């Protein structure tokens, strides 16, 4: 009798240990037994069992499928219920079925497993994320149907009203709220004169590059291979106050995919968003944050440290440049003499901007005064990124540690009169920066920041890119500067040099990080972990391509 009791005590303690251990494990998605796999509840059974009506349209095998549960819930209730209420209703219904279906042991057991599976923290987080994403798509589709049916449109995605071209304007940003009706009529007239046979086409214009050559038919090559590779953890998102900026960015991409009808009308901001690249600019109308609202835009710009890596203000550069403007040299010899004096003064003090300005003037001023050398003597850029001919910048800065090549700066140059018929140089630069970032992370550089330069005519812009949260590549415009083209514009030189030094300092910081990581890996013979994690990186790509006329003719014939 004592042995039996001892055995019973040992068994109960062992069982208790198992239950404790199992409470700390992650439950896998349950599957029903074959005999009840296709079972469905009727509406009458749902009412009698006090079960949510969404179960009347779902087979048992779908009761643990998060996507199916969300889709059916939105199909039943639209956007009238929130994620928490829907999740609680589902779990409560499963628990109710477990209690009231004791006569069917297989079905009751499966209901219990489903409720426990859905109550797990990581599944609940996944449920909330997918519910929010699917609800935005549902609201967008419903809004589009309503507006088309009533002949009304919104100036923003939710409230204000505008004209019949709302969806095209929302994607292209072609009409600002500041444009008057008279200006709109004038622009429409000019567009029709430019292409009478294609009245439904108008160029994308969200940035300075208006793409006036986009008059053919275009299509998008979209690869979303990385979109579902990770489960979002909202703790990693870019949060400002109570605003989830990362979520707002992803919403812009989802809205673009939902509303797109004519790829030729997509703006640069929208095309970049389809590549998980989000452009932030101090100017509201040139920033993706214009879709967030003015107040959020201000908070975002204030949160981004655009002053990092700036050099100290110059001490003598402005005086030198004004001296050149007031009393310009007349020939090569006099320009060299002036530059020599400036260079001597710069070397006698410690100021980075002054030193670079003096050094730059020794090259630039003689050219502005006496003319440039034969352009045929210069070599054109011929560099590619990662041996990928699709990404071939006009200029790149790279270095090599041991046998590892690291590209840290790229630049694109284009005459002012040259416009892209497909993707602009801004989009090209954004894709190159993203590729550079991924490459540096793959080579062990922790939290890199890559830099780029876009030069269009006499205007130049500097950009940096980092990754504040998973699959949100933040492309920040640091500055817009005017190039110095003649002696009377010499006063522009200190500002230009200061902005270029800022990009140089960003590059030097990356080089230090890359060198330390590569040398550490070489000495320890271990590959450093990705920082940020590789799951944060995006390989999603979207490219605007022109439809071949012969191919289009064949498709129309079919």
Q: What is the pLDDT of residue 300?
A: 93
Q: How far apart are CA 175 and CA 118, in angstroms?
A: 46
Q: What is the pLDDT of residue 424?
A: 84
Q: Residues near 365 by Cβ (< 8 Å), separated by ≥ 6?
A: 324, 329, 335, 338, 339, 487, 490
Alpha-carbon radius of gyration of the chain: 31
Q: How far apart are CA 337 and CA 8, in angstroms?
A: 103
Q: How far apart are CA 448 and CA 343, in angstroms?
A: 34
Phi, psi of 417 (to 5 degrees): -80, -5
Strands 459-469 and 472-482: antiparallel
Are residues 473 and 537 in contact, defined by beta-carbon separation less than 8 angstroms? no
Residue 334: strand, helix, or coil: helix
**Residue of 137, 347, 414, 365 whose CA lies nearest to 258:** 137
**Residue of 467, 469, 438, 434 whose CA lies nearest to 452:** 434
Residue 55: strand, helix, or coil: helix
Q: Please, is 326 exposed, middle or buried when counting C-beta atoms within 10 Å of its C-beta (0-12, 13-18, 19+)?
A: exposed
Q: Which residue has the tokens 């630039």?
A: 364
Q: What is the DSSP string of 423-469?
A: S-HHHHHHHHHHHHHHHHHHTT-SS--EEEEEEETTEEEEEEEEEEE
Q: For every one of its 558 residues, what pLDDT tens digit does the chain have, with 9 covering 90 and above?
A: 444 444 444 444 444 444 433 445 788 888 888 777 778 888 888 877 778 888 887 888 888 888 889 888 888 888 788 888 888 889 888 888 888 887 888 888 888 888 889 988 888 888 888 888 888 788 777 766 665 554 444 333 333 333 334 344 444 444 343 443 444 444 444 433 333 333 333 333 333 334 545 556 667 776 655 444 445 556 788 999 888 999 999 999 888 887 777 777 788 898 899 999 999 999 999 999 999 999 999 999 999 988 888 888 999 989 999 988 888 888 888 888 888 999 999 888 888 999 999 998 888 888 888 776 555 444 445 555 555 545 556 667 777 777 777 777 777 877 765 555 578 889 989 999 999 899 888 888 899 999 999 988 888 999 999 999 999 999 999 999 888 888 888 888 999 999 999 988 988 888 888 888 888 877 877 777 778 888 899 887 888 777 665 455 555 555
Q: Which tokens is 133 given?
A: 């994403």
Q: How far apart are CA 203 and CA 199, in angstroms?
A: 11
Helices and strands, counts by H and E, the chain: 17, 12
Q: How far apart are CA 233 and CA 209, in angstroms?
A: 37
**Residue of 397, 395, 405, 394 whose CA lies nearest to 508:** 397
Q: What is the pLDDT of residue 98?
A: 84
**Residue of 248, 137, 209, 172 whose CA lies nearest to 430:** 209
Q: Please, is 133 exposed, middle or buried when counting C-beta atoms within 10 Å of its C-beta (0-12, 13-18, 19+)?
A: middle
The three-point CA angle 508-454-202 to 5° equals 150
SS (H, E, C) 388-434: ECCCCCCEEEEEEECCEEEEEEEEEEECCCCCCCCCCHHHHHHHHHH
Does the pTM surpass 0.85? The reply is no
Q: Which tokens is 395 given?
A: 């200029």
Are residues 495 and 509 in contact, defined by beta-carbon separation less than 8 angstroms? no
């Amino acid at each position: 009798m004592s042995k039996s009791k001892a055995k019973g005590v040992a068994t109960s303690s062992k069982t208790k240990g198992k239950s404790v251990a199992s409470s700390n494990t992650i439950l896998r998605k349950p599957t029903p037994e074959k005999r009840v796999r296709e079972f469905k509840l009727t509406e009458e059974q749902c009412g009698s069992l006090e079960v949510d009506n969404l179960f009347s349209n779902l087979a048992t095998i779908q009761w643990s499928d998060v996507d199916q549960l969300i889709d059916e819930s939105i199909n039943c209730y639209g956007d009238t219920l929130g994620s928490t209420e829907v999740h609680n209703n589902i779990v409560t219904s499963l628990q109710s079925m477990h209690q009231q279906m004791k006569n069917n042991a297989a079905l009751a057991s499966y209901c219990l497993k489903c409720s426990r599976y859905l109550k797990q923290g990581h599944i609940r987080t996944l449920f909330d994320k997918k519910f929010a994403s699917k609800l935005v798509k549902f609201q967008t589709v419903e809004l589009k149907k309503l507006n088309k049916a009533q002949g009304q449109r919104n100036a923003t995605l939710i409230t204000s009203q505008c004209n019949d071209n709302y969806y095209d304007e929302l994607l292209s940003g072609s009409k600002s709220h500041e444009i008057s009706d008279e200006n709109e009529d004038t622009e429409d007239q000019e567009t029709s004169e430019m292409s009478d046979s294609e009245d439904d086409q108008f160029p994308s214009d969200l940035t300075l590059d208006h793409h006036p050559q986009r008059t053919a038919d275009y299509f998008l090559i979209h690869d979303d291979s990385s979109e579902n590779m990770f489960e979002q953890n909202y703790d990693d998102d870019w949060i400002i106050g109570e605003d989830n900026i990362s979520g707002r960015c992803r919403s812009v991409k989802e809205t673009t995919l939902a509303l797109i009808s004519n790829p030729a009308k997509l703006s640069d901001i929208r095309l970049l968003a389809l590549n998980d690249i989000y452009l932030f600019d101090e100017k509201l109308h040139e920033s993706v944050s214009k879709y967030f609202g003015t107040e959020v835009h201000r908070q975002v710009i204030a949160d981004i440290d655009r002053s990092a890596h700036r050099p100290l203000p110059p001490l003598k550069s402005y005086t030198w440049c004004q001296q050149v403007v007031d009393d310009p040299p007349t020939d090569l010899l006099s320009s060299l003499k002036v530059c020599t004096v400036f260079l001597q003064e710069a070397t006698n003090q410690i100021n980075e901007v002054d030193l670079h300005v003096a050094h730059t003037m020794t090259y630039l001023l003689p050219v502005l005064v006496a003319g440039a050398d034969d352009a045929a003597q210069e070599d054109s850029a011929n560099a590619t990124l990662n041996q990928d001919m699709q990404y071939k910048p006009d200029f790149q800065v790279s270095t090599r540690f041991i046998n590892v090549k690291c590209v840290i700066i790229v630049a694109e140059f284009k005459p002012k009169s040259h416009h892209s018929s497909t993707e602009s140089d801004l989009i090209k630069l954004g894709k190159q920066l993203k590729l550079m970032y991924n490459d540096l992370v793959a080579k062990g550089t922790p939290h890199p920041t890559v830099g780029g330069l876009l030069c269009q005519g006499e205007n130049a812009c500097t950009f940096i890119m980092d990754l504040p949260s998973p699959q949100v590549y933040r492309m920040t415009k640091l500055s817009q500067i005017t190039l110095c083209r003649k002696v009377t514009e010499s006063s522009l030189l200190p500002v230009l040099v200061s902005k270029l030094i800022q990009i140089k300092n960003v590059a030097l910081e990356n080089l230090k990080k890359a060198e330390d990581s590569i040398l550490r890996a070489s000495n320890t013979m271990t590959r450093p972990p990705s920082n940020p994690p590789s799951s944060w990186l995006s390989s999603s790509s979207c490219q605007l391509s022109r439809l071949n006329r012969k191919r289009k003719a064949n498709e129309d014939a079919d």
